[in-house]
Chain A
């Protein structure tokens, strides 16, 4: 089955700096890679996702890059703000006609220091 590794486990940045979180996956068949933000006591919220037919996707201050050959993908947050502080999870799955479960990375606790 799929295995997703995520690094770093904790990340502290100064407000305004950039943050990068990296994930690798094991199953070359996986083709859908979402990123979730989870604030304390809340449900995971999808912040951005990417499919294997593209290499990069941006949404305002957030971007995700995918390297299918190396089987890794990364989350980039620019101009970080204190409200970006949360736990971030990457995930991977094979998205096909029938839904399949997400396999999650271990999470990154991001702290943005004012």
Chain B
């Protein structure tokens, strides 16, 4: 199965700043997905990123807050902008490879 490398694995950031999370897949994938997982909660989809087009955002998530890039079929970034303590969470990228969905290792973000 595919491997997704995600970085950083964790970060502590000051409120008002931005953090960019990167995901690299070891094979070409059409769609990549970005999820947020708050402590003790399930995974909530932020957006779907298709190479060559604008990302599609779920209700409650906006491009100005979570801009996404998808420059090629193996890479994507998610930026968490103008951070507040409410953004403290785990962020995960995902992609479908073959018949299944694979996840990156996650980024644990703490905003202070």
Contact = CB atoms under 8 A, between A and B. Distances in A.
Interface of A: 34, 41-46, 49, 89, 98-107
Size category, B interface: 20 to 34
The DSSP consensus for interface residues of chain A is loop
18 contacts: A42-B105, A43-B103, A43-B104, A43-B106, A44-B92, A46-B101, A49-B100, A89-B43, A98-B31, A99-B29, A99-B30, A101-B33, A101-B45, A101-B48, A102-B101, A104-B44, A106-B41, A107-B42
Contact of A104 (B29, B30, B43): B43
Interface hub of B48, B100, B101 (most chain A Cβ within 10 A): B101
Nearest to B102: A46
A45 B94 CA distance: 11
A111 to B, nearest CB: 14
A108 to B, nearest CB: 10
Interface of B: 29-31, 33, 41-45, 48, 92, 94-96, 99-106, 108
A52 B102 CA distance: 20
